[in-house]
Amino acid sequence: MIAWTIYLTFAGAVVLLVFPDVVARWIALVTAIAGLVLGIVAFVRTPVADLAHFMTIVSVPWVPPLGMNYHLAVDGVSLTMLLVTGISAVSTVLFSWDVDHRQREFFFWLLLVVGGCYGVFLSADLFLLFAFYELVIVPKYFLIAIFGSTNKEYGAMKLTLYSFFGGMFVFAGILVAYATAGSLDLNQLVQFHFSPQLQSWAFPVLFLGFAVLAGIWPLHTWAPTSHVAAPTAGSMLLAGIVMKLGAYAGLRVAMNLFPEGFHVWSKWIAILAVIGIVYAAAVALRQHDLKFVIGYSSVSHMGFVLLGVATANALGVSGAVLQMFSHGVIAALLFAVAGRMLYRRTHTRELDALSEMNLSHALPFAAFAFIIASAASMGIPGFSGFAAEITILIGVWKTYPVAVWITGAGMVLVAAFTLRALMKSFFGEVRMQTGRVSTDADWNEQSITLAEKCGACLLMFATLAVGLYPKFLLDRIMPAVEAMRFLK
Amino acid sequence: MSYLELLRLASPEAVVVIGALVVLTIGLVSSRATVVAGVSPAKPPTGAAAGSRLRRTATSWCSLVAVLGVVIAIAAVLVLPRNANLFGGMLVITPLTSLFKIICLALAFFTVCLVRSEKSLRHPGEYLAIILLATVGLMLLVGSEELLMIFIGLELLGLSLYVMAAFDRTDMRSAEAGLKYFLFGSTSSAFTLFGISLIYGMSGSTGLAAISDKLAAAPVQPLLATGIIMTLIGFAFKIAAAPFHLWAPDAYQGAPIPSAAFIASGSKVASFVVLGKIVLVGFGPVHGNAGWHAMVAGWSPVLAVLAALSILIGNLVALAQTNVRRLLAYSAVAHAGYTLLGLVAGSRDGFSATLFYATIYAITLVGAFGVVAVVRSETGGDDLRNFSGLAGREPLLAGCMAVFMLSLAGIPPLAGFFGKFYLFSAALRAGGNYGLLWLVALALFGSFVSLYYYLVVLKAIFVDEPSLTTASSPDRSSSDLLQRITVAVLAAAILLLGLMPDTLAARILAAVS
């Protein structure tokens, strides 16, 4: 049943092309909600014990002479990712409610991205996984290049070329695995023993390819640029789920296939991750554009995911998966506030300009949402960010105690830039006479719409729920991670 | 062996030849009538109108006959016996030859569909007849395992294509295209013939199977190496592999669009089939090894070098193009490089991957040229700026062009993605201890670079504002509709072959064995 998330999303994308522009958003919304509902139902109804291993749900021969199967499977990790995809998809559609030109195209590309992500999270065949993975690249290009804002064509091309650059390495790694083991099925490949010498060079090729999309330092520079260039929906999708594709596939494919290679390289991944956390946080502290701040914060938070993954113990890796969920929700909320609620109305993202507008009075709901998102992003207890990061850090403590100290310093920086952004954007010193927006009449016309409120509430609910009761997710993630092969 | 038997086995070729003759006759008769009607002094305007109407009906009849001929020929291929061999390999029928005769005929069919709306052609009857003759050349090439016959096929194909490239007498560029194609082509034919004669001298036979037996006994000698390399040069020219690609940009840009489409599609597919047969069957014993740690002299290192050069030169030069047809030409060079990978691998899988990829590529290019034709007839040019804003004007065509470009770039779920995966995996598996990894890595790099220039085309179509005021042609005649349908069908084929590659791949694989 969970496989229908893929079919429904692609069907929705095709169907809305046939109908006129005005109903496109409704079709997209219905499709996205259907995906989320399917995800929730599967999450609640599948017995927890079944989620401990990569359980096949569909397996049909596709190209028998080459050993390709249409093979979908699910476990706790992929189900968690499906859930965050569904949440991001629904809120993204809600925050794109007033796209005013070429709506069909917009929602077509948007649903293609979502469908491709569902596909990656469910694939149990390397070829299929790679096909979905590459499928996501081009729709993102069009979303940004057609509907984006600042420097959009540059940002779109940069993102696409970086993704494809990573894809090139992934392709090479997959070909090597296929040529050696003669199979493309993940469950079979996991049983195959690749020679340690092969693993030691094939692992970095494959993992690096995936990590480009996860924003690993120093290949992260696409992320801030394209987040800024993208329309709000594009940023939300990028930060919310697309960056997770890289991390998820690195975990599912690269580390599971080449565990010994992973152990050789894990400390280098950890070093890059720590650099990423601290460096991106430091850079974010100096940005003037609100979206750049959030873009760098994404890189910083994804650094936690990579750090958790690099620990190679169950706790750290589970924390990383939880962080993927948490960051998917939080980043989407941050971008929604900055890109949609604020930029739509003020037409600026400059922190200095925003600070003169007295926005906490003009847009109380936006301020509320942004406070929640910032708190979650800083890792305040009670929100999902805290649950995820504390789990990761406990895992890291077992393997790389030094990294915890450095990361701790990084977290202070995260708090610093988040507070700075929050203060400047919403609680700046009010100078009514200089502000561009001085009359209240303007604001009344543009108060936060219902669609925006629904989207924001969904995201806030998700981060709070997971923050208060992370066991709900962790119960499903932990057994699945413990079943993986790369744990030390 | 009776002549009746020969006629039966060569019936597809015969049908196409008859079709060509009939088309030629209709064209001749109608052009006389046009002249008579056009110069009637009494009422020139109506006379001219009547003439143009007459010419249009004549064009319709010619295309109809040509299409019929192609369809009947496909049917004739289907009823052929599964296996036959005449005159020591001069005419061979195997599942492979039958499959590729059908594919060549289908490509000819789509090319004929494109011809109908090409308004610049003054003598469509003759043009269609030459397309059909070129198709016969393709079928001879595909259906032969004997060097002399292959050479005859090459020449028949080549001569027809030279004429087709130069057919538009109103356009200087067409003449340039024809002349360049002719000069390069005839020189490389000379090389091929010289190579064939050397090989004949070494082995005492022109049949591929006999050559293979002889070569198996003898080690590689300089004379043999010369013969092999010279033979390969002729084919490198046909498939536009660097450094023998110099004709391609001008031919693709200057030739009438159906000619360019045919040069890029049918000619390439047939060349790859016959090249594969020559190197794998004829020169099989002197395969050599192109692996980086186990280089052994033979033809496969030669092809590997050609492939590497093509991938690099094609992709890097394509980055700088602003004309879509020139861009397609340089990308064709790159794709010839990828396609050679399967032959370098030298395995059955590799050959099958090469044929699959060449077929997909041919379908894609016919479609892409179809889109270029529409854009050219609407805006008067085929530069990138002529494509800007196409998505607003023609959403269907824009969508089809996106399918073609993304398939060429190797984006799923389109056929090009599967084709690349198949090719590269075959090459990597065949090399033995990842010997061909260097070539595969180069090809991956090339396909990474290529995404940029395909995206530039798509950016013009989907993102840019229309920069030219189009010479609006509100009268969409039936021929334009036909063209759109052709393009849409080809795009659908690319999508379907990407979703279900097994339909074609399994057939090719079964036929190759």
Please give the single-letter amino acid code of residue A102.
R
For B440, the closest of A66, A165, A175 (CB atoms) is A175
- Residue identified by tokens 């030669």 is B302
Predicted local distance difference test score (pLDDT) of residue A343 = 80
Query: What are the residues facing B84 on neighbouring strands?
Result: B93
In a domain, A441, yes or no: no
Contact A137 B506 (CB under 8 A): no
pLDDT of residue A85: 93
Taking CB atoms and an 8 Å cutoff, what residues of chain B touch A67? none
State residue A192's pLDDT score: 87
Q: How many CB atoms lie within 10 A of CB A365?
A: 15
ipTM metric: 0.90
**Considering the domain boundaries, does residue A440 fall inside one?**
no
**Is residue A20 in some structural domain?**
yes
The reported pLDDT for the residue numbered B479 is 57
Residue listed under structure tokens 């149990």: A124
Q: How far is A37 from chain B (nearest CA, A)?
A: 26
- A66 CB neighbours in chain B (<8 A) are 422, 425, 505
Mutate one of B396, B421, B452, B509 to test the A interface: name it (highest A CB count within 10 A): B421
Q: For A180-185, which contacts have Cβ atoms below 8 Å and span 24 or more sequence positions?
A: A182/A67, A183/A67, A184/A66, A184/A67, A184/A68, A184/A69, A184/A125, A184/A126, A184/A127, A185/A67, A185/A69, A185/A71, A185/A124, A185/A125, A185/A126
Report residue A233 CA to chain centroid gap: 13
What pLDDT was estimated at residue B415? 92
Which of B422, B293, B242 minimizes the C-alpha distance to B347?
A: B422
From B434, B444, B459, residue closest to A168, measured CB to CB: B444
CA angle A394-A397-A399, nearest 5°? 120
Residue of B nearest to A104 (CA): B395
User: Is the Cβ pair B462, A145 closer than 8 Å?
Assistant: yes
**Rounded CA gap, B94 and B512, in Å?**
9
Of A141, A133, A468, nearest to B458 (Cα)?
A: A141
Residue B394 CB: number of other CB atoms within 10 A?
18
Chain A residue nearest residue B455, CA to CA? A157
8 Å CB contact of B412 and A178: no
Partners of residue A64 in chain B, C-beta under 8 Å: 502, 506
Cβ of A65 within 8 Å of Cβ of B505? The answer is: yes
Closest-CA distance, A183 to chain B, in angstroms, reads 11
Nearest CA in chain A to B445: A168
- At residue A420, the pLDDT reads 87
Question: Among candidates B292, B127, B317, which has minimal Cα distance to B240?
Answer: B317
Which tokens hold the place of B427?
Answer: 């090459």
User: Which residues in chain A are contacts of B406 at CB distance < 8 A?
Assistant: 138
The residue among B253, B278, B276 whose CA lies nearest residue B264 is B253
Beta bridge partners of A68: A63
Report the pLDDT value the prediction gives residue B37, as an integer from 0 to 100. Answer: 52
From B461, B442, B258, select the one nearest B334 (Cα to Cα): B442
Cα dihedral angle (B505, B507, B508, B513), rounded to 10 degrees? 120
Residue A180: closest C-alpha in chain B = B429
- What residue numbers bound the domain in which A175 lies? 4-432+448-482
Helix extents (H) in A250-313: 256-257, 259-285, 290-310
Is A209 inside any structural domain?
yes
Which of B451, B461, B497, B504 best probes binding to A when mutated, by most A CB atoms within 10 angstroms? B451
Q: Which of A66, A104, A130, A134 to mutate to test the interface with B (most CBs of B within 10 A)?
A: A66
- The shortest C-alpha distance from B419 to chain A (Å) reads 12
Residues in chain B with pLDDT values less than 70: 1, 32-52, 54-55, 119-120, 431-432, 468-479
Contact A137 B411 (CB under 8 A): yes
Chain B residue closest in CA terms to A179: B429
Mean pLDDT by 10 residues, chain A (488 residues): 89 89 88 92 87 87 88 90 92 87 88 93 92 91 86 88 92 91 88 88 91 87 86 88 91 90 91 92 88 89 91 90 92 88 79 76 83 88 89 90 89 89 78 50 63 88 90 88 83
Q: How far is CA B186 from CA A74, A476, B181, B333, in A?
A: 60, 70, 8, 20
CA distance A419 to chain B (A): 38
Residue position matching structure tokens 């001879």: B140
Which candidate in A101, A109, A175, A197 is best for mutational testing of the B interface (most B CBs within 10 A)? Answer: A175
Query: Residue A153's pLDDT is what?
Result: 86
The beta-carbon neighbor of B455 closest among A63, A141, A167 is: A141
Counted domains in chain A: 1
- Residues contacting B132, CB < 8 A, separation 6+: B16, B17, B19, B20, B23, B66, B69, B70, B108
How many angstroms away from the CA of B417 is the closest CA of chain A?
A: 8
Residue A80, burial from CB neighbour count under 10 angstroms (0-12, 13-18, 19+): buried
- Domain-embedded: residue A318: yes
Query: Which residues of chain B are at the A interface, by a Cβ-Cβ cutoff of 8 Å?
Result: 391, 406, 411-413, 417-418, 421-422, 424-425, 428-429, 434, 437, 440-441, 444-445, 447-448, 451-452, 455, 458-459, 462-463, 501-502, 505-506, 509
From chain B, pick out residues whose CB is under 8 angstroms from the CB of A199.
none
Single pTM value for the model? 0.92
- Cβ burial of B229 (10 Å; 0-12, 13-18, 19+) is middle
Whether the Cβ atoms of residue B346 and residue B356 lie closer than 8 Å to each other: no
Among A138, A159, A163, A169, which would you mutate to test the B interface (most chain B Cβ atoms within 10 Å of its Cβ)? A138
Of B406, B444, B506, the CB nearest to A171: B444
pLDDT at position B160 is: 93
Q: How far apart are CA B272 and CA B423, in angstroms?
A: 14
